[in-house]
Amino acid sequence: MISLSGAKPSQLIQKIQQHESAPQTLSALYSPDEIEQLKQWAVASYENSDHTQQKLLKKNGKPLGNMAHPQGEVKEAIEKLLRAKLKDKLEEPYGLAFTFHRNYFPYGTHTDSGYDPDEYIYKQGIIPLEVDPDGAEVYTVIFQQKAYHSVSYPGKVETIASLKPEELEHIHGLDNNNDLSDEELSRYFQGPSDRERFKGFEIALPFRWQKGNMALWDRAHLHCSSDFSNHSINGKMGLMWISWRI
């Protein structure tokens, strides 16, 4: 089931679409010193238990990962660094929010396009800070398909098959002729057995988690983490940010 709550009116969607651009990887945007600084700010944020939040997996109650919301001076310093890096990429004025995410399981296909039907959503991004094991190949896979409010697209084929037309019409660009290739399914997911899970989708950008790089994309894009278990990934930690136009 796809929640329809928070769906935006078509007039606002048209305004949002005027500021869309192709997802991109910004390479070597952060120096090794800046990455170290961000990691220290992550440690400081996680240490303050008032500002951390654990998410549990629905199926077995195991921790999916945990988030930390920076506060005070750390928050101000991160915002300053982010805005400096985004100077030529985003148009002022915009609002910005960010959270550290540590994950032990891959995130399913979803959007972070908000629950407020009036939010003028803009860009979002990820700054990878840690991959376990270090240097392993792990991705955030960003699809061409979009939804203009926060949705979770089912991972189970039976649930996908039960989606109603009024739910599917909120997923822009789904096309039954689209199939991920065997190579894409093996590189990013569990292999050809995942074909039906991604039926209708097309990859816009496979963003590899490498230190110094940042992914930048429109908030409406559906995206998910690449597979962990078949690719010997234990976890990853990064800074996620979202923006909105004001």
Contacting positions for Fe ion (CB under 5 A): 112
Q: Which is nearer to Fe ion, 115 or 162 (CB)?
A: 115
Query: Which CB sits closer to Fe ion, 79 or 112?
Result: 112
- The CB-of-103 to Fe ion minimum distance in angstroms stands at 11
**Alpha helices (H) along 89-234:** 157-161, 165-168, 182-188
Token pair in block for residue 119: 């939010």
Smallest gap from Cβ 73 to Fe ion, in A, equals 27
Residue 234 CB: number of other CB atoms within 10 A?
13
Q: Which is nearer to Fe ion, 112 or 130 (CB)?
A: 112
Choice between 75 and 110, CB closer to Fe ion: 110
The stretches of the chain forming alpha helices (DSSP H) are: 10-17, 32-47, 72-85, 157-161, 165-168, 182-188
Provide the phi-psi class of 161: left if phi over 0, else alpha when psi is between -120 and 50, else beta. Answer: alpha
* Among 230, 220, 162, residue whose Cα is nearest residue 194: 230
Return phi, psi of residue 23, to 5°: -60, 145
Q: Is omega for the bond preceding 70 within 30 degrees of 0, making it cis?
A: no
Q: How far is the CB of 153 from Fe ion (least distance, A)?
A: 12
Task: Please state the closest distance from residue 99 (CB atom) to Fe ion, in A.
Answer: 10
Rounded to the nearest whole angstrom, what is the least distance from the CB of residue 5 to Fe ion in the complex?
18
User: DSSP state, 8?
Assistant: P
Rank residues 20 and 179 by Cβ distance to Fe ion and give the closer one: 20
Q: In the complex with Fe ion, which residue's Cβ is closer, 20 or 112?
A: 112
Q: How far apart are CB 155 and Fe ion at their closest, in Å?
A: 14
In contact, 245 and 120? CB cutoff 8 Å:
yes
